Structure 1
Amino acid sequence: MTTYYTSDQHFGHLNIIRFCDRPFPGAPAMNARLVELWNETVSDDDTVWVLGDVALGALDESLAHVDRLAGRKILVPGNHDRCWEGERTLRKGEPEARERRRTKERQRYLDAGFAEIHDRPDPVAVGGQNVVLSHFPFEGDSHGEDRFVEYRPVDRGSWVVHGHVHNTWRQRGRQINVGVDAWGGRPVPAAAIAALLADGPRDLEPLSWERPEP
């Protein structure tokens, strides 16, 4: 049994292809390739932490891909997930009504195939070190100025495994981006994270997307 980390699939999101230069002619081809790369990597006995932004577009149609993915899947919602904690403040309406909507949305993600949803999970041990799991890095963004500062983890000298920044970096200092746009489209095994931790803080560029063999 292996633990993996990943984020930012953006199932069903056509514009992400242009934004991140993904090598696909459209969303259906992207969706199929994401599922293929995941299932080539992950077995049903494995656990995968998905650090946010799993699906956009027509949500029911996009979330349907989650059930096709192998392994036990745990979601840490990102700012594009309907069940993200920030939705309580971004949506209009009374606080109680916003919370009811969020509870209903969380159930949609659970029904789609996630075993658990954690807004701010406790640190996890990787390679003998405790690391923070979050959709957001401590600092940095793919849009220039840092967004959603109030929802980011606080840098207290630890490492953070995160998503959100797409192909901006694979590692920046003590921040490890496990988004699919930094790792060729595949989930990242804990052993790969442990190796980066052992090598210490540095900057690494994203890996290229893996293209299917002709």
Structure 2
Amino acid sequence: MTTYFTSDQHFGHLNIIRFCDRPFPGVGAMNSRLVQLWNETVTDDDTVWVLGDVALGALDESLTHIGRLAGRKLLVPGNHDRCWEGDRPLRKGNPEARERRRAKERQRYLDAGFAEIHDRPEPVTVGGHSVVLSHFPYAGDSHGEDRFVEYRPADQGAWVVHGHVHDTWRRRGRQINVGVDAWGGRPVPAETVAGLLTEGAEDLQPLSWA
């Protein structure tokens, strides 16, 4: 059994192909290749932490791809996930209405195939190193100025394993980006992440798509 980390699949999102220069002629080809690369890497005995932004577009359709992915899948929501605590519709109305909407959106993701949803950054141990799991890095963004600062983890000296920045970096300081655009489309095994933690904080550029 192996643990993997990944993020930012953006199933169903046409514009991500252009934005991140993904090598696909359309959404259908991208979705199929993401599923293929995942299932070539992960088995049903493995656990995969998905660090946000898994699906966009017509959500009822794009979320169906989650059920095609091998392994036990745990979600730390990102800013494009409807179940993210910072999602604008979930912050409107009275507390009871907000809670109903939140429960409904969370259930959509659970029904799609996620075993668990973790709202806040998760502290875990990888290869003997203490790390925080979050959609967001401590600092940096793929759009220039840092967004969603209030939802980013506080830097208390640990490494952060994250997504959000797409192909901006693979490792920058004590920040490791496990997004598919930095790792050739594949989930990243914990052993690989542990190796990066041991190496130190030298910046690393993204890998090419497989």
Letter of the 2:107 partner, please give it: Q
Aligned to 1:156: 156
Give how far 1:96 is off. 2.5
CA distance in 2, matches of 1:38, 1:191: 17
Give how far 1:90 is off. 6.5
Aligned to 2:186: 186
Alignment check: 8 A CA contact 2:3 2:47 kept: yes
The TM-score, its normalising length taken from structure 2, stands at 0.97
Question: 1:90 and 1:115, CA in 2 relative to 1: closer, same or farther beyond 3 A?
Answer: closer
Aligned to 1:147: 147
Alignment check: 8 A CA contact 1:3 1:189 kept: yes
Displaced runs of 4 or more, over 4 A: 88-91
Letter of the 1:175 partner, please give it: Q
Task: Give the total of aligned pairs.
Answer: 210
Letter of the 2:118 partner, please give it: H
CA distance in 2, matches of 1:89, 1:167: 29
RMSD: 1.1
Per mean C-alpha deviation after superposition, the further-off stretch among 140-149 and 94-103 is: 94-103
Question: 1:41 and 1:168, CA in 2 relative to 1: closer, same or farther beyond 3 A?
Answer: same
Aligned to 2:137: 137
2:98 aligned counterpart, secondary structure: helix
User: Percent identical across equivalent pairs?
Assistant: 83
Give how far 1:5 is off. 0.1
Deviations 1:11-53 (A, max 9, x none): 0000000000000000000000000000000000000000000
Alignment check: 8 A CA contact 1:88 1:99 kept: no
Give how far 1:87 is off. 1.8
Structure 1: any 5+ residue segments left out of the alignment?
A: none
Give how far 1:67 is off. 0.2
1:44 aligned counterpart, secondary structure: coil
Alignment check: 8 A CA contact 1:23 1:209 kept: yes
Alignment check: 8 A CA contact 2:90 2:101 kept: no
Give how far 1:97 is off. 1.3
Alignment check: 8 A CA contact 1:87 1:102 kept: no
Give how far 1:88 is off. 5.7
The TM-score, its normalising length taken from structure 1, stands at 0.96
The question of 1:38 aligning with 2:38 is answered: yes
Aligned to 1:205: 205
Letter of the 2:157 partner, please give it: G
